[in-house]
Amino acid sequence: MVEYHDLTIRDGCHAISHKLTADMIKKHCLFVEKSKIPVMEIGHGNGLGASSILIGRAALSDVEMISLAKSYLKNTKLSVHVIPGIATIERDIEPAIKLGVDIFRIASHCTEASITKSHIEYLASKGKTVYGALMMCATCPLDVLVSEVEKIKSYGASAVIIMDSTGSFFPKQVEECFKRLSQIGIKLGFHAHNNMGMAVANSLIAIQNGAEIIDATVHGFGAGAGNTPLEVITTIHPSGDINVLEEIEDLEYKTPITKTINILTAKYKLHSVFEQKILESAQKYKVPLAKLVEELGNRKLVAGQEDLVRVIAAQMSEQL
């Protein structure tokens, strides 16, 4: 049976500049409980410890978000996203353990699984459910991805989430990916973005080829062009007693529109979080949008390097 994880109020925080409110948390928790969603993720779009001037200030602290969610959730498990280098064990993970977080997803760039080792081993030693998550997987050769998943398994994670952070995968690639990865012997999940309109198709192909966890959001609400819509994927491929259609109309998340910038970032395999910086820099420095995205893609920028967008745009403007 496929396990659907609702990431609306984590990935969706990118779409609202991380300004998640207490009322939104309450409403969403009541929704997932009534809809019988097994897992809900919460937090700043970039995970624990990410609220900052550089990445974006959250309206609520991690402790406030987690505490509120736990006060409403009775049956649905709570998960959090963790990026080593942003989140630390002492400052961020230990308080989350004490607050009762059920699942920790430790994420890294798809070629840098080794940075997750200490966090995964620590959480496993505490008896917590811990997953690995590999971001930007469409940028990674399959042989390398296999090796990185094997590393995460060796650290003690009980699952690995394959994240198409750029929305660049096509169904055939997803099929090849999961056929290979399913031979490793660890539970697999898939996190799609909808830049090329393939999120639902890719998620279904992942399921058909061994994925047991599928990330989705209400109306696809998420970074850039958004994610796999929860209401669509659970209708096409039902699982357990999940029924989101009776309660979903009470939620006010706007369905993302696939814009030119989303198609360009998918084409050049850039993370969806670059969208706003690219648009602002292209306008400020009078650089053609497509040329700027192409240059950023050629330089293989990864999430966390958003400030370089402005620098590169300024350099390009001097050459025009």
Residues with a known catalytic role: 14
* Number of Cβ atoms within 10 Å of the Cβ of 127: 8
DSSP character at residue 135: E
Q: Is 170 helix (H, G, I), strand (E, B) or coil?
A: coil
Beta bridge partners of 56: 52
* Token pair 């994925």: residue: 211
CA distance 27 to 15: 18
- Cα 104 to Cα 12, 157, 184, 221, 226: the distances in Å are 18, 10, 21, 22, 22
CA distance 234 to 240: 10
- Cα 8 to Cα 24, 43, 113, 261, 265: the distances in Å are 11, 10, 25, 22, 21
Radius of gyration of the chain measured on its C-alpha atoms: 19
Q: Where are the alpha helices (DSSP H) in the chain?
A: 8-11, 22-35, 62-72, 94-98, 117-125, 142-155, 171-181, 199-208, 230-236, 260-267, 275-284, 289-298, 307-319
* Number of Cβ atoms within 10 Å of the Cβ of 299: 13
Q: What is the 3-state secondary structure (H, E, C) of 65-109?
A: HHHHHHHHCCCCEEEEEECECCECHHHHHHHHHHCCCCEEEEEEE
- Cα 173 to Cα 176, 272, 298: the distances in Å are 5, 19, 21
